[in-house]
Amino acid sequence: MTERTTSQKFQFSLLNTSGKARRGVISTPRGDIRTPAFMPVGTAATVKAMLPENVRATGADILLGNTYHLMLRPTAERIDRLGGLHKFMNWDRPILTDSGGFQVMSLAGLRKLTEKGVTFKSHIDGSKHELTPERSMEIQRLLGSDIVMCFDECPALPATDAEVAKSMQMSMRWAQRSKDAFGDRPGHALFGIQQGGVTQDLRAESAEALREIGFDGYAMGGLAVGEGQEAMFGVLDYAPDMLPADKPRYLMGVGKPDDIVGAVKRGVDMMDCVLPSRSGRTGQVFTRRGVLNIKNARHQDDPRPIDENCTCPACSHYSRAYLHHVFRAQEMISGMLLTWHNLHYFQEIMQGMRDAIEIDAFGAWEAEFHATRAMGDIDPI
């Protein structure tokens, strides 16, 4: 497929700050991304249980697609022949794709890691594949991704400092190879990924290597992999400050609502997580007043909505009793409505933070966020 020719550049404008929290906008040829931004995950070219226009209606400016899944099925070459990922999945706004590295490590079988890259067997049919920085750049180009991620390696935990350092240093060599293979693609962005585990010196070394190469944005990788919120926030107390202030900062794979708020407070601009959509399918519902489980018997006679202040379709038109019933009956509308509500709520958090940062009132907004959550769910009927 011929690449869209465009004179419009990928550009980040920082608009306001409140403490370390930042509000900005990423301009791309496919539309603006308001930051801080939460990216719903469209693993297999779909945000499960949602039409793309409905995902957009929740307030999402950008989706994340998974290179690992798409390269195996239906393959990047097929998506390219069919006009690229945006057309294929009917989403014409920005898409960020991960590099495939993380999911090879977490999903694939029989992995072999060398300086060149990683070979592995598909978790779907056992077929053998290779991912290298060069191949990852090629796949993400074939998909037509707007924001491309460098191919990196994230060591399995627990790991010693020496193991984390060795892995990080290889990821930095892969970052240079990713940059070389990405080339010059106006309107498209390449993000570097900081590694270094929970060790400040290694994070600093990684950030320095990435700044030396130069990227359109910078991600923090190797977090939200089981280290716990306290350790993650510990790293986020210094890691974002090591990255250029005039470029977007992306925290990969985060998170729960309080993780997201804590990350934005520490200077993160972008995040992604499967949590709102995955939880929607298992009956877990995120609200201003915390988490509730719709399968709990306490909801079966409750005519009230999940959240009377929420304007999503699940809360506007359906009772807890109905949502409890369709979940129990395993009706598809259950996953659809609960996913919609969760995505709506996550985007509402982002909008609330953007509004608060705009008037330099992030601290007050954060206090209210935590105070409302501490109230817990409304009393049973």
Residues making up the binding site: 98-102, 152, 195, 222, 310, 312, 315, 341
Closer of 69 and 320 to Zn ion (Cβ): 320
Helix H or strand E segment including 112: strand 109-113
Kindly write down the DSSP assignment for every residue of 328-375, as one continuous string. HTT-HHHHHHHHHHHHHHHHHHHHHHHHHHHTT-HHHHHHHHHHHHHH
Q: What DSSP designation does 298 have?
A: G
Bridge partners (DSSP) listed for residue 25: 13, 34
> Among residues 76, 315, 326, 336, which is the contact residue for Zn ion, using CB under 5 A?
315
- Residue 341 engages Zn ion in binding (rule: CB under 5 A): yes
- Identify which range of 2-10, 138-146, 270-278, 303-311 contacts Zn ion by CB under 5 A: 303-311
Closer of 140 and 342 to Zn ion (Cβ): 342
What is the smallest separation between the CB atom of 312 and Zn ion, expressed in angstroms?
3
Catalytic option among 80, 216, 272, 307? 272
What is the smallest separation between the CB atom of 41 and Zn ion, expressed in angstroms?
19
Helix (H, G, I), strand (E, B) or coil at 290: strand
- Residue 312 engages Zn ion in binding (rule: CB under 5 A): yes
Catalytic option among 98, 146, 216, 307? 98
Closer of 44 and 310 to Zn ion (Cβ): 310
Q: Which spans in 9-75 are helix H?
A: 52-57, 67-72
**Rounded-to-integer distance, Cα 314 and Cα 337, Å:** 5
Bridge partners (DSSP) listed for residue 33: 26
**Rounded-to-integer distance, Cα 292 and Cα 329, Å:** 18
Calculate the alpha carbon distances from 89 to 41, 44, 48, 336 in Å: 13, 9, 12, 17
98 is catalytic: yes
- Identify which range of 74-82, 120-128, 154-162, 302-310 contacts Zn ion by CB under 5 A: 302-310
- Residue 137 engages Zn ion in binding (rule: CB under 5 A): no
Closer of 67 and 342 to Zn ion (Cβ): 342
- Residue 320 engages Zn ion in binding (rule: CB under 5 A): no
Residue entry with tokens 């949602």 = 50
**Rounded-to-integer distance, Cα 283 and Cα 279, Å:** 6
Calculate the alpha carbon distances from 264 to 23, 59, 183, 276 in Å: 9, 18, 31, 18
- Residue 294 engages Zn ion in binding (rule: CB under 5 A): no
- Identify which range of 136-144, 267-275, 317-325, 336-344 contacts Zn ion by CB under 5 A: 336-344
272 is catalytic: yes
Positions touching Zn ion (CB under 5 A) are 310, 312, 314-315, 341
- Catalytic residue ranges: 98, 272
